A and B are shown apart, each in its own frame.
Chain A
């Protein structure tokens, strides 16, 4: 269990100042949706910025919005959608803060055409532990701008952020659902849907389908006409009441879920018009969904492999299948070649695969170590926001800008993740 010494909860910009007198490492955190220890700070102090939740300005003509660090993407949607603007990039939950989104340089289903959120950050203010305040943009302090985007909160405390939103004509998404039965088919459908102008593509895969992957491909775009309403789960929906016993999610039930899900979705071909909320944030509808994994929780594994090495995917899926572990949710997405300004950004051209494993201790860790070796072999990488166990060497090899980045890390900031990837490998 992670234990920090104390939490400071500022509500106002005037409550944030220098913190170089702290006698232990400090870390600013948001809504804590990172899966691993990048938002934990054992033995240190936390600055919980979620009460700094004021939208500072929103220009409905230009789509520029400036927000205090703790404003959530849910709030931005509530403010912007009725005026015909949408998040330029959104991850799979809207319950993250804007500062957290930038610190992890989050990506979404439109990575192939829009890149990461960092590509849309016009400027932000960074507070260093010595009290220095830096306005960072592509023009002003560009090196600090690059280090902070994807910088895991280590370069300073983000005070406010300004981003450029994306124009929409409707809050509905036109979605096509296509089944595929092989990786090649997936790649083919991806190419076709990109050419057909779909902004959003993602696929769910069934990890138990045997030799080749099968899955459901979703491609969506903002509808051309319709209403502009911000509706959707607001964090008051149904809630998983308690941690399920671990036997609930076993190989059998996960396999059954995957089969049923595939069967249910396989029939749908025609275009459907759905609200943006269920399209982008299906899990936001169920509060504390992670409790279905039981008290020991889950391990996320999100890796990236270059497209040329796509046969590696078969190897990964085979390794999972051989291990007897199952992934409840497998998601695959092709990244594009829009480069993020962030020097520690995760996405790069290739295929990304995200998997949820019920945590079963050493068994799970052994499997993930095995997957690491496969990923490393093809010059792939893991996503720090979803990681709780990668080794130092894995991190060093897959983040070539790491040495450059170190110069920007604030001496008073650290995190569980950051300390972990400094220690020598044990395994």
Chain B
């Protein structure tokens, strides 16, 4: 059970939907995101939906240099947080990442290294308290690199690996690490992808994630559930064949 949640990337659609469920359960929320006016809109929405308290910190989460100050601000505004939900990220433009190493590295910073920085700092706090839960949204794209989006997949795959390691480290401290692997979800991030209208409904995805946070004991959660089996099959395609696949 969670009570005080720090949401990193609070304006992301999935994070918002999870936060709405938490608000309906009268939880306390600290929203972290980049654009103050959008954070304010989310905060107002969560208060109306029943959140006990909502506070905001606006910052650029990919700016690693600012993380020590950010963690101080989080601790000042919500000293007793028990849950961290990491939900920010960008859908990398694969072609651009192949042309520009700078762009590829900046995408890795946003989707992976900045998360390592934040999770390392915040998990230390929870480890000392010997309680809490860290929920990290990665992606099925991280289960196997694909021709069409392997920069995004690399970052999310690395992030999933990192959470796996963190889980082993925090196990003895009683801190849970939950790795979420969503399939494609119909959010603003994926709105320009072909077939995006058929993607999973973000509210339904959030309900599954929230139920798992509150009542489950899984380590890795695929949403929708069938992606576990789809990705198992995809992971087992021999590399000699997989390397020729264009998708």
The answer to whether A12 and B191 touch across the interface, beta carbons within 8 angstroms, is: no
B45 at the interface (CB under 8 A from A): yes
In the complex, whether A79 has a CB less than 8 A from a CB of chain B is yes
Question: In the assembly, what is the distance between CA of A9 and CA of B189, in Å?
Answer: 11
B188 touching A14 by the CB < 8 A rule? no
Q: Give the complex CA separation of A57 and B38 in angstroms.
A: 14
Asked if A56 and B188 make an inter-chain contact with CB atoms under 8 angstroms apart, the answer reads no
Indicate if A213 sits at the interface (CB-CB under 8 A). Answer: no
- Contact A79–B49 (Cβ < 8 Å): yes
Contact B38 A12 (CB under 8 A): yes
CA distance A68 to B37 in the complex (A): 14
Please tell me the number of chain A residues within 8 Å of chain B, measured between CB atoms: 17
Instruction: Map CB proximity to A onto B39-72 as digits: 1 under 8 Å, 0 otherwise.
Output: 0011011011110000000000000000000000
Residues in A whose Cβ lies below 8 Å from that of B49: 55, 78-79
Contact A54 B191 (CB under 8 A): no
A239 to B48, CA, bound (A): 31
The total number of A-B Cβ pairs within 8 Å is 39
Main secondary structure of the interface of B (DSSP, over half): helix
Question: Nearest CB to that of A53 among chain B residues?
Answer: B45
CB distance from B19 to the nearest CB of A (A): 12
CA distance A58 to B23 in the complex (A): 14
Q: Supply 12 further A-B pairs (C-beta < 8 A) apart from A9-B188, A14-B38, A54-B41.
A: A9-B191, A12-B37, A13-B37, A14-B35, A51-B188, A54-B44, A55-B48, A56-B45, A65-B48, A78-B24, A79-B49, A79-B50
Q: Are B48 and A58 in contact (CB under 8 A)?
A: yes
| CA–CA, A120 and B168, complex, Å | 57
B204 interface residue (CB < 8 Å to A) = yes
- Verify if A236 is at the interface (C-beta below 8 Å from B): yes
User: Contact: A11 with B44, CB < 8 Å?
Assistant: no
Are B48 and A57 within 8 A (Cβ)? yes
Q: Determine the chain A residues whose CB is within 8 A of the CB of B37 once the complex forms.
A: 12-14
B22 to chain A, nearest CB (A): 14
Give the contacts of A302-346 with B (CB-CB under 8 A): none
Closest partner residue, chain B, to A9 (CB atom): B191
Within 8 A of B (CB), among A20-56: 51, 54-56
* A 357-391 contacts with B by CB, 8 A: none
Least distance between B48 CB and chain A CB atoms (Å):
4
The residue on A at minimum CB distance from B41 is A54
28 A-B pairs whose Cβ atoms sit less than 8 Å apart in the complex? A9-B188, A11-B13, A12-B38, A14-B35, A14-B37, A14-B38, A51-B13, A51-B188, A54-B42, A54-B44, A54-B45, A55-B44, A55-B45, A55-B48, A56-B41, A56-B48, A57-B44, A57-B47, A57-B48, A58-B48, A65-B48, A78-B24, A78-B49, A79-B48, A79-B49, A79-B50, A82-B50, A236-B204
